[in-house]
Amino acid sequence: MLDSLPLPRNAAKDCPYYFWNAVTSRRAVVGIAERTLTAVFKKSGVKKPTLTDIATP
């Protein structure tokens, strides 16, 4: 399933990482991961929870 993830931006075709292109700083990896996971959730149809969903036990 992880093989269906897109490569990180500016990553080499043989990049071994899913959320980091091995070029940017570690701080940038957070933004890269957010963008990648957003794309995965959008493609899978998973909806973003609302505050009501989170607060409801």
Q: What is the pLDDT along the chain (57 residues), one digit of tens a residue?
A: 777 888 888 899 998 988 788 888 888 888 877 888 888 888 998 877 777 777 766
pLDDT score, position 57: 62
pLDDT score, position 32: 76
Q: Provide CB contacts within 8 A for 30, sequence distance 6+.
A: none
Give the rounded distance of the alpha carbon of 44 from its chain centre: 13
Work out the end-to-end distance of the chain between its first and last CA atoms, rounded to an integer number of angstroms: 31
pLDDT score, position 43: 92
pLDDT score, position 56: 60
Residue 47 sits in which domain range? Answer: 2-55
Please tell me whether residue 47 adopts helix, strand or coil conformation.
coil
Number of structural domains in the chain: 1
Q: What is the pTM of this model?
A: 0.47
